[in-house]
Structures are given as structure tokens and as C-alpha cells.
């Protein structure tokens, strides 16, 4: 269901380094399984795929159906781990031009609360004003500012449009089982709710209702997604050197220790853009702490070969690539022959587009390896719910192992609080002292004037 090819990466390290890194990865896997490492109160994601029951799936599907009946647009509100998983899976599985498909029967899923864009929210309200809409609001803490602002605005519009009593049937909340402002609001206003388990952190929550409800609303097979993850959970539980999560964590850390401080996740399929964004959060927020960690970056090839290709080929050598390859496309399209051949493309006439893409991938791999960039290759057979579920779980498991190899707690994110403290102080939130910040801002203004 997933292949991992390390030949063009292990050639950059010695056999001893590779052996030592794999041994360390296997130890980290033991720590993860024993629940004896840092952040061990947030390991609920490990067995999550096996604990999602058919009854859970059916209650999510029922809620999705209820929410979408006669509805044209469902707004999913959330940020970070309460946004990226659903966005990634929906993008990966959707028709590229879903919004324009004739005779479309399912509502369009759009997102809000992942930014503080006044234009973004105003333009969304403009669209919702003339369409039948509903909303899923997702926040584990129930207090995150960006989704709270978006929900206040969308909720007001729904209530003004449909009346408070009817609006409540158009809102579902996904939040902590007992704590937080969103839980209180949902209880008071009578929304249907789904709970996020206490021991599952945001960026590991795509297989909880955080991801599964929006994905079901978008019409995708959440049972197959969970099955893919469950099968991958078995594969990545193996205590041996064939375990792909162990190998991926081991190669990342071995390269990091050789000065490769940046990992570029490269995809060759336009539907994988947000999967890359999800991966960036998973690894960035899990590993970037104590002034350590690989910086996760992402590019969409071949498009970005025309913007980032030069750097990757000949820039600083402190990076490695992980190429994410979808091995077969769901559609078939051949390049037609042209009598005039003015574009000189007849040499590829009759070939499938995917064959050209595969050759671009192979050619890039060879060029980048030649240029001194180690390349890890991850392949999935096709883009379907089962394969994507497996891929998500693979990355999660490898992230847990890799974070322990690095020596950090992969399951917290203390650094995310710093900007919030400043923002609250600057906005005058009660209890936040802004005097020192105002002094710095004044000083900055003086210097730039």
C-alpha cells in the first residue's frame, strides 16, 4: 500500500551511520509503544484507527447527511490541526474542478477560521448570503481566536437568515468532551456535537470527527480512509527494519545529523498540495523545539521546478527531498499527434500525460541526486480514500518515532503561545499587559519614521 525507496538517500551516509540510525529508530518505536516517552498523555492517535467503530462511522455519516440535506455550501471552521487534515483529504480526493461540475449533488465544502482575513470573511459572507448554507465549527480548546472570530460571524449570519431555532440545526460543533468555550456555547445553543478525545492532539486528529465529519460531508468514504490507516497501523507496529515508519524516521535523522536541516516534500500531483501543508504542520509543530528540528518545506512539481528548481539543483546543500509519488492516475489522457507539429511535441504523441510526469519525476530525481541532494521516495498506488488513510497514518507514526529520536516532546507546541500573548496584549484583552509591547512598537515607529 506504500513503498519507501531509500537508495538515493542512503548513498549520502555511511553504512555505520545508517545502521546506528535504524537502531535508534527502533528504540524510539519501543518508547512510543510503551508510552514511556515525553508527551505520553497524547498518544491516543496510535490506536485510533482500531477504535473507530462502524457505529462511529455511521453516526458521522448520519450527521453529514442531516447537515447537507438541501444545503449548497458547508463552511468548515478551524485552524492548524483542526483544519489541515480535512482540507488535505478533501483536496486529494476531489475532482479538480468540483465546484464547476454540472449536476453537482453534494454541497461545496469551504473553509474559514484558518486566517484573520477581513476580505476573506466578507467575501465568504457575500457568497453565503445567496446560498443555502450550514457550518461545522472545530476547535479542541474551544478558545482559539481565528476560528472563534469566524464562527461568531458565520453564526450571526445563519441566525439572521434562518432564525435562531432553525440555525442551530445547521451547526455542528467538534470540540473537547467537557471543557472550553465552544463546548459551553454548543450546550447552551443546542448544537449537535462530536467530541475530540483528550489524548489526541490537534495535528494528530484527522482520524477523529475533526477530519472525518468534514470528509464525510464532502462525500468521501471515511470507512475506507480509516481502514487504510488501520492497515498501516499494523505495518508500522512491526519491530523490525522493514517497518517503513522506522526507516523514514531513521533516514530523516541520519541526514539531519549530516547537516541536512531542511526537508522538502515534493509532490508531482496537483491534488497533493494540501497534503504537503498538513505534513508541514505535523513535522514542524512536532519537531521544531529546543532550537532543534528539520525545517519542513514543500513544493508542487513540476510547476515549482520553474521557480525553486534552480535552488534545489545548485543552492545551499543543507537540504534533502522526500518525493511523494502517486503511482497511477485515475483518468487516462494521451498526447495527440499533430500534423503540423509546430510545437515539436510529436515525439511524445500517443504517450499518456502520466508517463511524461513520471519521466519528469525520474529526471528530477537523478538531477537532484547528482546535484548533491539526497532523495527519499515514498510511493502510494493511487489517490483513493484507503491509500490516503494509510499515508496519513504512516506520516503520523514516523513523526512520533522521529521526534523521540531527536529528543523532543513531539506532542506539545509551547512555542505557538508567544504570538498569541502579544496579539492579545496589543488588542487589549483583559489580563494581558501591553505596556512593554506598546513601548517596543513606539520605538519601532520612531526608528522607521
Name which of residues 341 to 370 contact ligand PA5 (CB under 6 A).
none
Segment interacting with ligand PA5, rule: CB under 6 A, options 17-25, 51-59, 114-122, 139-147? 139-147
Q: Could you tell me if 74 and 135 are in contact, meaning their C-beta atoms sit under 8 angstroms apart?
A: yes
Residue whose CB is less far from ligand PA5, 83 or 268? 83
Is 139 an interacting residue with respect to ligand PA5 (CB under 6 A)?
yes
Query: Which residue of 91, 221, 263, 285 would you call a contact of ligand PA5, by CB under 6 A?
Result: 285
Question: What is the closest distance, in whole angstroms, from the C-beta atom of residue 219 to ligand PA5 in the complex?
Answer: 24
Rounded distance between C-alpha atoms, residue 16 and residue 29, angstroms: 20
Residue 378: strand pairing partners: 4, 324
What would the grid cell of residue 112 be?
A: 474559514
Which among 356, 252, 349 is positioned nearest to 302, based on CA atoms?
356
Give, as one character, the DSSP assignment of residue 260.
Answer: -
Residues identified as active-site: 285, 306, 420
3-class SS of residue 217: helix
Residue 75: strand pairing partners: 110, 135
Please enumerate in sequence order all residues whose Cβ is within 8 A of that of 41, keeping only pairs 6 or more positions apart, or say none: 198, 199
Residue whose CB is less far from ligand PA5, 147 or 403? 147
Residue whose CB is less far from ligand PA5, 206 or 326? 206
Residue 192: strand pairing partners: 172
What would the grid cell of residue 430 be?
A: 483583559
Is 144 an interacting residue with respect to ligand PA5 (CB under 6 A)?
yes
Q: Report the residue closest to ligand PA5, judged by CB.
A: 202
What would the grid cell of residue 88 be?
A: 488535505
Could you tell me whether strands 192-196 and 295-300 are parallel, antiparallel, or unpaired per DSSP bridges? Answer: unpaired
Kindly write down the DSSP assignment for every residue of 254-307, as one continuous string.
Answer: HHHHTT--EEEEEESSGGGHHHHHHHHHHHHHHH-BTTB-PEEEEEETTGGGGT
Question: What is the closest distance, in whole angstroms, from the C-beta atom of residue 191 to ligand PA5 in the complex?
Answer: 16
Question: How many binding residues for ligand PA5 (CB under 6 A)?
Answer: 14
Question: What is the closest distance, in whole angstroms, from the C-beta atom of residue 83 to ligand PA5 in the complex?
Answer: 8
Is 183 an interacting residue with respect to ligand PA5 (CB under 6 A)?
no
Binding mask 238-277 for ligand PA5 (x = CB under 6 A): ----------------------------------------
* Residue 255 CB-half CA count within 13 A: 31
Tallying the residues shown for the chain, one arrives at 449
Please enumerate in sequence order all residues whose Cβ is within 8 A of that of 362, keeping only pairs 6 or more positions apart, or say none: none
Question: What is the closest distance, in whole angstroms, from the C-beta atom of residue 250 to ligand PA5 in the complex?
Answer: 24
Question: What is the closest distance, in whole angstroms, from the C-beta atom of residue 185 to ligand PA5 in the complex?
Answer: 13
Which among 133, 151, 130, 181 is positioned nearest to 83, based on CA atoms?
151
What would the grid cell of residue 226 be?
A: 480509516
Query: Which residue of 87, 170, 183, 203 would you call a contact of ligand PA5, by CB under 6 A?
Result: 203
Segment interacting with ligand PA5, rule: CB under 6 A, options 120-128, 134-142, 306-314, 385-393? 134-142
Segment interacting with ligand PA5, rule: CB under 6 A, options 95-103, 120-128, 198-206, 435-443? 198-206
Question: What is the closest distance, in whole angstroms, from the C-beta atom of residue 183 to ligand PA5 in the complex?
Answer: 11
Residue whose CB is less far from ligand PA5, 139 or 322? 139
Query: Which residue of 87, 140, 252, 289 would you call a contact of ligand PA5, by CB under 6 A?
Result: 140
Rounded distance between C-alpha atoms, residue 6 and residue 339, angstroms: 43
Could you tell me whether strands 73-77 and 108-112 are parallel, antiparallel, or unpaired per DSSP bridges? Answer: parallel
Name which of residues 51 to 90 contact ligand PA5 (CB under 6 A).
79-82
Residue whose CB is less far from ligand PA5, 76 or 305? 76
State the sign of the Cα–Cα–Cα–Cα dihedral 247, 253, 256, 262. Answer: positive
Query: Which residue of 49, 107, 202, 390 would you call a contact of ligand PA5, by CB under 6 A?
Result: 202
Is 10 an interacting residue with respect to ligand PA5 (CB under 6 A)?
no
Could you tell me whether strands 3-5 and 73-77 are parallel, antiparallel, or unpaired per DSSP bridges? Answer: unpaired
Residue written as grid cell 539526497:
374
Question: What is the closest distance, in whole angstroms, from the C-beta atom of residue 46 to ligand PA5 in the complex?
Answer: 16
Is 141 an interacting residue with respect to ligand PA5 (CB under 6 A)?
yes
Contact residues toward ligand PA5 (CB under 6 A) are 79-82, 139-141, 144, 147, 201-203, 285, 413
Amino acid at each position: 500500500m506504500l513503498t519507501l525507496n531509500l537508495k538515493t538517500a542512503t548513498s549520502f551516509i555511511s553504512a555505520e551511520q545508517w545502521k546506528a540510525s535504524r537502531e535508534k529508530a527502533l528504540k524510539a518505536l519501543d518508547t512510543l509503544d510503551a508510552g514511556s516517552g515525553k508527551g505520553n498523555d497524547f498518544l491516543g492517535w496510535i490506536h485510533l484507527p482500531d477504535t473507530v467503530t462502524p457505529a462511529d462511522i455511521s453516526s458521522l455519516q448520519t450527521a453529514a447527511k442531516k447537515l447537507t440535506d438541501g444545503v449548497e455550501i458547508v463552511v468548515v471552521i478551524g485552524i492548524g490541526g483542526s483544519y489541515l487534515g480535512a482540507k488535505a483529504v478533501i483536496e486529494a480526493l476531489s475532482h479538480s474542478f468540483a465546484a464547476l461540475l454540472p449536476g453537482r449533488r453534494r454541497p461545496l465544502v469551504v473553509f474559514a477560521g484558518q486566517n484573520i482575513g477581513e476580505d476573506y470573511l466578507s467575501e465568504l459572507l457575500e457568497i453565503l448570503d445567496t446560498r443555502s448554507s450550514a457550518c461545522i465549527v472545530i476547535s479542541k480548546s474551544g478558545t482559539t481566536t481565528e476560528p472563534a472570530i469566524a464562527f461568531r460571524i458565520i453564526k450571526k449570519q445563519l441566525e439572521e437568515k434562518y432564525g435562531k431555532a432553525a440555525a442551530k440545526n445547521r451547526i455542528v460543533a467538534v470540540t473537547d468532551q467537557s471543557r472550553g468555550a465552544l463546548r459551553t456555547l454548543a450546550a447552551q445553543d443546542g448544537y449537535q456535537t462530536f467530541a475530540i478525545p483528550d489524548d489526541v492532539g490537534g495535528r494528530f486528529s484527522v482520524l477523529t470527527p475533526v477530519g472525518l465529519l468534514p470528509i464525510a460531508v464532502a462525500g468521501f468514504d471515511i470507512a475506507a480512509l480509516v481502514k487504510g490507516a488501520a492497515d498501516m497501523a499494523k505495518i508500522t507496529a512491526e519491530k523490525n527494519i522493514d517497518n517503513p515508519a522506522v526507516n523514514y524516521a531513521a533516514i530523516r535523522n541520519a541526514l539531519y545529523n549530516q547537516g541536512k536541516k531542511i526537508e522538502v516534500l515534493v509532490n508531482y500531483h496537483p491534488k497533493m498540495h494540501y497534503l504537503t501543508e498538513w505534513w508541514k504542520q505535523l513535522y514542524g509543530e512536532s519537531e521544531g523545539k529546543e532550537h532543534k528540528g528539520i525545517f519542513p518545506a514543500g513544493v508542487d512539481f513540476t510547476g515549482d521546478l520553474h521557480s525553486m528548481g534552480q535552488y534545489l539543483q545548485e543552492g545551499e546543500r543543507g537540504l534533502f527531498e522526500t518525493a511523494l509519488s502517486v503511482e497511477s492516475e485515475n483518468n487516462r489522457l494521451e498526447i495527440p499527434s499533430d500534423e503540423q507539429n509546430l510545437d515539436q511535441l510529436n515525439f511524445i504523441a500517443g504517450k499518456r500525460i502520466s508517463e511524461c510526469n513520471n519521466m519528469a519525476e525520474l529526471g528530477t530525481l537523478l538531477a537532484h541526486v547528482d546535484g548533491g541532494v539526497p532523495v527519499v521516495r515514498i510511493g502510494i498506488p493511487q489517490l483513493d480514500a484507503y491509500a490516503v488513510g494509510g499515508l496519513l497514518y504512516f506520516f503520523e507514526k514516523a513523526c512520533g518515532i522521529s521526534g523521540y529520536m531527536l529528543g523532543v516532546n513531539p506532542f506539545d507546541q509551547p512555542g505557538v503561545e508567544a504570538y498569541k500573548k502579544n496579539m492579545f496584549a496589543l488588542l487589549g484583552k483583559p489580563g494581558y499587559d501591553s505596556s512593554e509591547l506598546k513601548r517596543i512598537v513606539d520605538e519601532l515607529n520612531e526608528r522607521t519614521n
